[in-house]
Amino acid sequence: MGQAQPTEQSEEVDVAALQELYKKFVTECPSGLLFLHEFKRFFGVDSTGDASEYAENMFRAFDRNGDNTIDFLEFVAALNLVFRGDLEHKLRWSFKVYDKDGNGFVDRTELRAIIDSIYRVRNLDRKRPDASLDEICERIFNVVDANGDGHITLEEFIEGAKKDPWILNMLRLDMNPYSWVLDQRRRKSAHF
């Protein structure tokens, strides 16, 4: 009996938080839709900067119905995933970012493009990685592409990431928007 009460209270808090979130969303996006340029502006991303392609891929992954906008339900689903999702859900979302053309698998070109974007966004080039982008992609494919067909399916992606901590770190995208926004704003202010 005593445990039912906190559950009801937490549901009320979630509803109140959801209402507050909706008010903020409508204030920022009066049309009820978040467009790519607004998404980039929110995250402080230049349309031509290193983070632009990365932001576009994140936007596409959040745009669940493929209409080139993020509505409130997609926005809430994305936030829920970011803050409450388990590892498998986060890997499923990461797979959508890697699978740029949405054909259900990741090929070497897609993998290389996202890893290149990640390195540029995080300024990892300055830290001089121990391997080239091609070597990193090859290492990932050697472990993750279980059947060796040159394509990584969602299942291979998830299982491969769970096998190897280094690969998990490479494949699981950083979805903490707070730290990402702060990093982007620091870079912008450093250029002025």
Q: How far is CA 112 from CA 2, 48, 158, in A?
A: 53, 19, 18
pLDDT tens, residue by residue, 70-83 = 998 888 887 777 66
Kindly report the average pLDDT of the chain as a whole number.
77
pLDDT computed for residue 10 by the predictor: 40
What's the pLDDT tens digit per position in 26-64? 887 888 898 998 888 776 677 776 677 778 888 888 888
Residues in the chain: 192
Domain boundary residue, one of 61, 84, 107:
84
Q: What percent of the chain is predicted at pLDDT more than 70?
A: 73
Residues 67 and 112 in one domain: no
Per-10-residue mean pLDDT of the chain, 192 residues long, equals 40 65 82 87 70 80 88 82 79 87 92 82 56 89 94 95 88 59 55 52
As for how many domains the chain has, the answer is 2
Q: Is 105 found in the same domain as 77?
A: no
- The 3-state DSSP class for residue 104 equals coil
Q: Is the pTM of this model over 0.75?
A: no
pLDDT, position 147: 95
**Spatial distance between the Cα atoms of 164 and 159, rounded to a whole number of angstroms:** 9
Chosen domain end from 84, 117, 145: 84
For 133, the domain range is 87-176
